[in-house]
Amino acid sequence: MLAICWPSGSWTGGSGVKIKENHWLPKLIRWPIRATAITLGQTIYLAGLAADNPGTVRHEAVHTLQFQETGWVRFLAIYVWDWLRGWRLWGSPRLAYLQIRFEQEAREVARRTTLLEVIPECVSVLRKPFGWKQLRVDQWAKV
């Protein structure tokens, strides 16, 4: 198990994020994308090992921060709302998934922080608090 360390300053997180490796939960999800990881609250479930998937861990770490900002109910409500809205706009559940604001932000942060590695016992990502709020479902974002 790895810990996620949040430096001070621009970070919105706290401690207590857990990473569960080689977990069955993400393997269950095959639609509309084949999931390699899923984050629920402050727990990241990985299909494989964190050390083999540093980009995925960074992506999921952003979701733990989003969960902290919104709480479970709002997170899931916004997630489903964005997805359904995107599906109507973009005509595909997979494209709609990519345009969910939480996914846009997680992708962008994971991409931008490629220099940070999964160092032992500590994963770090750098982001603006509530960064997802500046994003839009109805404008196509780079995927």
The residues that touch Zn ion, with contacts defined as CB under 5 A, are 103, 106
Cβ pair 60, 21 in contact under 8 A? no
Q: Copy the structure tokens of residue 92.
A: 């595909």
Token pair listed for 118: 């999964």
Q: How far is the CB of 45 from Zn ion (least distance, A)?
A: 12
Q: Which is nearer to Zn ion, 103 or 108 (CB)?
A: 103
Name the one residue in this structure whose structure tokens are 């990473």: 19
Choice between 6 and 45, CB closer to Zn ion? 45
The CB-of-63 to Zn ion minimum distance in angstroms stands at 6
Smallest distance, Zn ion to C-beta of residue 112, A? 15
Structure tokens at 65: 């921060």
Give the shortest CB-8-to-Zn ion separation in angstroms. Answer: 25
Instruction: Decide: 58 and 48 in contact? Cβ < 8 Å.
Output: no
| Residue 6 or 83 having the CB closest to Zn ion | 83
Give the Cα-Cα-Cα angle 77, 137, 133 (nearest 5 degrees): 70
- In this complex, which beta carbon is closest to Zn ion, that of residue 21 or of residue 60? 60
